[in-house]
Structure formats: structure tokens, C-alpha cells
């Protein structure tokens, strides 16, 4: 891929967060950290 390392890592991170948010505990954490994600 021609993506810079930072962008490639960000895409991978979003995939991990998306999958993690599918879990019961993850869904609760996702609700509280969703806003923090957009702030960064």
C-alpha cells in the first residue's frame, strides 16, 4: 500500500476499535470513548 505509516496505522486502529465495540464490554466503553476519539 502507498499509505504513509501513520495513516495505515490509523485505519488499522479504527478496524480494531470497530471490532472491539462489538463486544458487550466494548460497546459500553465505546460510548464513553467515542467523543474522545473525535477530539484527537
Distance of CA 2 to the CA centre of its chain: 21
DSSP label at residue 22: T
pLDDT on residue 17: 78
Say if residues 21 and 27 touch (Cβ distance below 8 Å).
yes
Bigger pLDDT: 40 vs 18: 18
Q: pLDDT at position 36, please?
A: 65
Cα separation, 7 vs 35, whole angstroms? 20
Residue 22 is part of which domain span? 5-39
For 5-36, the pLDDT digits (tens) are 677 778 888 888 777 767 767 667 667 777 66
What is the Cα–Cα distance from 33 to 14, expressed in whole angstroms?
Answer: 13
Q: Count of domains in the chain?
A: 1
pTM attached to this predicted model: 0.35
Amino acid at each position: 500500500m502507498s499509505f504513509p505509516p501513520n495513516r495505515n496505522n490509523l485505519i488499522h486502529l479504527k478496524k480494531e476499535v470497530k471490532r472491539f465495540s462489538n463486544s458487550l464490554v466494548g460497546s459500553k466503553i465505546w460510548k464513553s470513548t467515542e467523543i474522545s476519539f473525535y477530539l484527537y
